[in-house]
Structure 1
Amino acid sequence: MFSTHKVNERIFHLLTFICQGSSFLNPRAYAIMHREHHAYSDTEKDPHSPYFFRDVFQMMWRTAQSYKLYEKRLKEPDAQFKGNYPEWRLLDYWGSTYTSRILFGVFYVVFYIFFATHWWMFLLLPIHFMMGPIHGAIVNWCGHKYGYSNFDNGDKSKNSTPFDLLMLGELFQNNHHKRPNNANFAAKWFEFDPVYPVMKFMHWIRLIKLREAYI
């Protein structure tokens, strides 16, 4: 979708680790799985299609198993899925350790102890612990089961809602599968991707460079 300077790439990589925290995803492993998902969308080779599992929990368990194989480099992807993803071996290794995830979890709990103003706020902690898997479950389950389609992509991808504020545009799965290199996940006049204006601004200040065809 965009290119950026290597220094910026490192900064984004570090900030991703900090912000994802306990649910940090190795960019290489995620990129490979995402490419497989697009190439084999809603077929048996799709790493997380909802149409081959009884429920969302089974789908995410299989997704986690596939992810671990690539994260631990126990499986080599097909050649077409290799390359052009950021790698930072030390950070990626540390961010995937149980020690890192537990330390982030402890930090979240301590933060709540000091700053939560009501007891019910502590019920939000599981979301902080598991934000990555929760987000992935919603996007991959709902984005291929519920909603409407603008394009015939030969799969079951859907746009779950025309205003995707909570998932930050990720639930425009039908649009995204049609135009995977477009930074704007919205396609029709009534759809809105809240992340696209941010990326346009980053392009304007030359922090990133969007593909010319999709500016």
Structure 2
Amino acid sequence: MACHRKHHAFADREGDPHSPLIEGLRNIVLKGAFYYRRAVRQPGMLEKYGKGTPNDWIERHLLSRLNWLGILIMLAIDMYLFGFFVGPLVWAVQMMWIPFWAAGVVNGIGHALGYRNFDVKDESRNIAPIAIWLGGEELHNNHHADPKSAKFKAKWYEFDIGWMYIRLLQLLHLAKVEYARGL
């Protein structure tokens, strides 16, 4: 969360932890997770930009110190759900998927290519609808225009599968929305 907040504070300017305009599109797409890791290791960054986030004991005492543990827990869950042979394959896809698509494509392509609904102070763009893969994150310009909104869709023709997931979780009483655009 802290890295994300710092990105919004300095989007596409010096200080942005992962701007393709500063670091180059190829670098962000291929090495996006590296830029996150580098940013959170900067002195004072977590304290300054992480204020108000949940005080997660497991994250602070276990996963931040033993980050490999979360990876092994995910492997164990995948093996339990999908079996001894398929589970590791699912896990391998997840381990490549998140750094490439979330840290690379959303932050790289989402600030380089696509259309804009809002004239914001950065170069954020909405990418062609590939929502199944990105969970609504391809509506990046909409997100930068209203970063506190849980709903990224701004036009009637935009598809925000992430918002659909949130609504489903709300119906199951597993999520609470503080704010959503247009509601």
TM-score, normalised on structure 2?
A: 0.77
Deviation digits for residues 33-75 of structure 1 (CA, Å, limit 9, x no counterpart): 1111111110111111111124234554233211234xxxxx2
Identical positions, percent: 28
RMSD: 3.1
The amino acid of 1:211's aligned partner reads Y
Cα deviation for residue 157 of structure 1 reads: 0.3
Q: Indicate yes or no: 2:55 matched with 1:87.
A: yes
Aligned to 1:47: 17
Counterpart Cα distance in 1 of 2:143 and 2:5: 12
Residue type of the partner of 1:44? E
Cα 1:93–1:37, aligned 2, differ >3 Å: closer, same or farther? same
Q: Specify the alignment match of 1:150 in structure 2.
A: 117
Change (3 A) 1:209 1:129: closer
CA distances 1:85-126 after superposition (whole Å, capped 9, x unpaired): 112234433123144045336537856663539xxx94x543
By relative contact order (CA 8 Å, sep 6+), the higher-ranking structure is 1
Once residues 87 and 155 of structure 1 are traced to their aligned partners in structure 2, the CA distance between those partners, rounded to angstroms, is: 31
SS at 2:135's partner residue? coil
Does the Cα contact within 8 Å between 2:130 and 2:138 map onto a contact in 1?
no
Match of 1:107 in 2: 76
Question: Which residue matches 1:127?
Answer: 93
Report the TM-score when normalising by structure 1. Answer: 0.67
Q: How far did residue 163 of structure 1 move?
A: 4.9
In structure 2, C-alpha distance between the alignment counterparts of 1:88 and 1:78, rounded to whole Å: 13
SS in structure 1 at match of 2:5: helix
CA distance in 1, matches of 2:126, 2:48: 27
